[in-house]
Amino acid sequence: MSSLRLAYVGAAALMLPAFAVALSIPQAVPPEPVLRCLEPVAGVTWLRWRGNGDATLNAWCESVGRPVLRAPVFTESADITQLTILSWNVHVGGGQAEKLIPDLLKETASKSGGLVVLLQETFRTGWDVPDSYPPTLHPPGAIRPRRPAPDVTALANELDLSLAYVPSMRNGSATSVSQREDRGNAVLSTEPLSDVTAIELPFGKQRRVATAATVTPRGSHGKPIRVMVVHLDPDDHRVMQADALAATIKAFVATKAMPLVVAGDLNARQGLSDKAVSTLSGQIHREDECGTGGTSRLPLRIDVLFGDRLDYMFSTLDDFGLKRTCQTLSDRFGSDHVPLQMTIQF
């Protein structure tokens, strides 16, 4: 059929007057439809992956909603003298963030401090998640260890925090408004967020999107800090994804614009010798002070013997003369990971 059509068009062109054939008449090309996940959100910039797997990334992207930004009204003056950064894989609602974060808010406020929470495997539910997805897509299985549980937007609203949430994938195949969910990374903060960037990584086992934002502590003491939260694939694809992320990190570090903190679940089951860890630490400095024990929590407490250190924090704070402490917390607060907590002094 294609050959016949091409032949017909060629014959028709031969019957046209010479001037008509020579005349180039621009044809209106319909714009490509914008995937819902990529609909513009003021304040969010996308760095999409270009390479193998683009069609697959588009299908996974089409199954989730667009990012969420929330900016509370800061009515009270504050002079932030320290900033606590918590990194935590919350196991899609299993982690009781609604209990841990308020306690941290009280603790940091008593010390004139601000709080930034970098969440992995957080989720969003409701109307903002598409009610359908491409028929060729097999959504990842739903992870719902605890329901009801507040989703990330409800958590930010309840605690009146700044929020930048970027979904990576759908959480199961449910399509009803009460059941459909997507999941991904988020930054919650007592301080203003700006210049939010969604960094799509090459497709491996699943679609992964790192989320970066600039935190600007209020008052005269604090300095803007760039934070980035990441969650890599659990198989060997994590090395490919770390390579892609390292290129973005390297470009930012070269600007020397501000300190950078990168944290998250790298699924690095080989510890410090894991290629994903060494790839990222080659661009910035690993926080040895955070601890060396396992951060995953397995059933029946067998993690005491076999728990892996999957979670890491990296930074360029030394390059800016900023002192900090870092630790691995002992309580998982219902998740299958324990949090990492860093406190930076200004």
pLDDT over threshold 70, residue 71: yes
Q: How many other C-beta atoms can be found within 10 angstroms of the C-beta atom of residue 21? A: 11
Phi, psi of 314 (to 5 degrees): -125, 155
Q: What's the CA gap between 51 and 23, in Å, rounded?
A: 37
| pLDDT for 239 | 96
Q: What's the CA gap between 133 and 109, in Å, rounded?
A: 43
User: H helices then E strands: how many in the chain?
Assistant: 8, 14
pLDDT over threshold 50, residue 45: yes
The lowest-confidence range among 94-103, 154-163, 291-300 is: 291-300
Per-residue tokens: 119: 């969440």
Q: Biggest alpha carbon distance in the chain?
A: 85
Question: Confidence band (pLDDT; 50, 70, 90) for 287?
Answer: confident
Among residues 198, 200, 225, which one has the least CA distance to residue 315? Answer: 225
What average pLDDT does the chain have?
89
- State which H helix or E strand residue 181 sits in: strand 181-189
pLDDT tens digit sequence for 237-285: 999 999 999 999 999 999 999 999 999 999 998 878 899 999 999 888 7
Q: What is the mean pLDDT of residues 218-222?
A: 91
* 263 CB-near residues (< 8 Å, 6+ apart): 85, 87, 118, 227, 228, 229, 230, 311, 312, 313, 314, 340, 342
Calculate helix-pair angle for 97-109, 152-159, nearest 10 degrees. 30
Question: Confidence band (pLDDT; 50, 70, 90) for 292?
Answer: confident
Residue with tokens 């609203």: 157
Rg (CA), the chain: 23
Q: What domains can be seen in the chain, in order of their start residue?
A: 42-345 (3.60.10.10)
| pLDDT for 29 | 61
Instruction: Report the Cα–Cα distance between both ends of the chain, in Å, rounded.
Output: 70
| pLDDT for 219 | 93
Q: How many other C-beta atoms can be found within 10 angstroms of the C-beta atom of residue 331? A: 11
